[in-house]
């Protein structure tokens, strides 16, 4: 009945206005960047651009796409995202299966669980980690971007919680029919785990695409940087000295509109993938957090 009272109606209109404004606030900065990237250099440098391009121009994108270092960094980011996500998915999928078993079935489970959990709550810190990377000769190698983040306990927990929701009878039937655990995992569990795999893939892809600190820390040659690290040095640090570029290349990069174009291209893959996977990660999130 409350729907029809006047105070509630007033509240409702007010509420809708407020929330719509809040949600617009969440994307206004992105729209601004997009507008700047499509504006003429003079207008952008004079800070005349608001939410709509001033003197529409594609110059910034042309320059960005003609920059070989930028294109190469995209390639590195794509490689690390594909390989890193694949590796994480495989390892997480394999590890979550035994960990989802009862202790009565798999007695060593608790030992393994503690290894995982302890690694999540305690770590050696930045300096010892850096030195291990040095010692195992991962410095300046592409693999330093892929290997260290391959196991993520949080994702393993998401996956194993999903496995626990699968009826035991399915697994038992498979085992009675003579399938081993590997066969059960890949032929029975894999096809029904797709929503959960999609969630983990999304989290992992976003992680790899956005990671910038590892590149900055472990790669000394700016030409090997993934896109996020490249953007960090060019846009945030503006530290051209480390980039070993010719003055001509530097000029290409140090413009407001070009920066905006690069930022937008950096965000684009996430903007594209995100709407498709939204329903999965909402489920995935609540799966890991709300439990009966």
- Contact positions with other proteins (CB under 8 A) in 45-84: 47, 50
Residues between 116 and 175 with contacts to other proteins, criterion CB under 8 A: 116-117, 119, 121-132, 136, 147-148, 150-151, 156-157, 172, 175
Q: How far is the CB of 97 from other proteins (least distance, A)?
A: 6
> Using CA atoms, how far apart are residues 16 and 171, in angstroms rounded to an integer?
48
Task: Please give the full DSSP string across 162-196, using - where no structure is assigned.
Answer: HHHTS-HHHHHHHHHTT--HHHIIIIIIHHHTHHH
User: Two tokens at 167?
Assistant: 């009826």
> Using CA atoms, how far apart are residues 141 and 278, in angstroms rounded to an integer?
33
Which range in 67-75, 78-86, 244-252, 283-291 contacts other proteins by CB under 8 A?
283-291
Q: How far is the CB of 156 from other proteins (least distance, A)?
A: 7
Are the beta carbons of 230 and 73 closer than 8 angstroms? yes
- Does 43 interact with other proteins (rule: CB under 8 A)? no
Closest to other proteins by CB, 89 vs 246, is 89
Are the beta carbons of 131 and 198 closer than 8 angstroms? no
CA-derived radius of gyration, the chain: 24
Which range in 58-66, 75-83, 91-99, 242-250 contacts other proteins by CB under 8 A?
91-99
Residues between 173 and 212 with contacts to other proteins, criterion CB under 8 A: 175-176, 178, 180-182, 185, 206, 209-212
Residue whose entry in the numeric block shows the structure tokens 């994108």:
61
Which one among 6, 22, 191, 220 touches other proteins, defined by CB under 8 A?
22
- Does 105 interact with other proteins (rule: CB under 8 A)? yes
């Amino acid at each position: 009945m409350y729907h029809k009272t006047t105070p509630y109606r007033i509240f409702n209109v007010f509420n809708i206005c407020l929330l719509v404004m809040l949600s617009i606030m969440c994307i206004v900065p992105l729209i601004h960047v997009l507008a700047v990237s499509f504006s003429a250099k003079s207008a952008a440098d004079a800070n005349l651009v608001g939410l709509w391009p001033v003197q529409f121009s594609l110059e910034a994108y042309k320059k960005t796409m003609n920059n070989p270092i930028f294109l190469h960094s995209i390639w590195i980011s794509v490689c690390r995202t594909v390989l890193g996500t694949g590796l994480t998915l495989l390892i997480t999928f394999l590890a979550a299966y035994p960990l989802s078993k009862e202790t009565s079935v798999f007695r060593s489970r608790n030992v393994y669980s503690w290894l995982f959990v302890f690694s999540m709550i305690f770590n050696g810190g930045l300096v010892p980690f850096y030195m291990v990377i040095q010692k195992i000769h991962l410095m300046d190698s592409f693999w330093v971007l892929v290997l260290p983040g391959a196991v993520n306990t949080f994702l393993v927990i998401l996956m194993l919680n999903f496995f626990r929701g699968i009826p035991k009878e399915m697994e038992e039937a498979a085992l009675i029919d003579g399938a081993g655990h590997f066969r059960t995992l890949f032929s029975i569990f894999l096809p029904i785990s797709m929503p959960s795999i999609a969630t983990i893939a999304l989290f992992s892809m976003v992680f790899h695409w956005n990671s910038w600190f590892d590149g900055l820390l472990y790669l000394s040659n700016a030409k090997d940087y993934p896109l996020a690290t490249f953007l960090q040095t060019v846009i945030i640090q503006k530290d051209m000295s480390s980039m070993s570029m010719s003055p001509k290349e530097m000029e290409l990069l140090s413009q407001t509109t070009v920066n905006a174009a690069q930022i937008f291209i950096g965000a684009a893959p996430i903007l594209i993938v995100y709407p498709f996977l939204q329903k999965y990660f909402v489920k995935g999130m609540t799966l890991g957090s709300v439990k009966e």
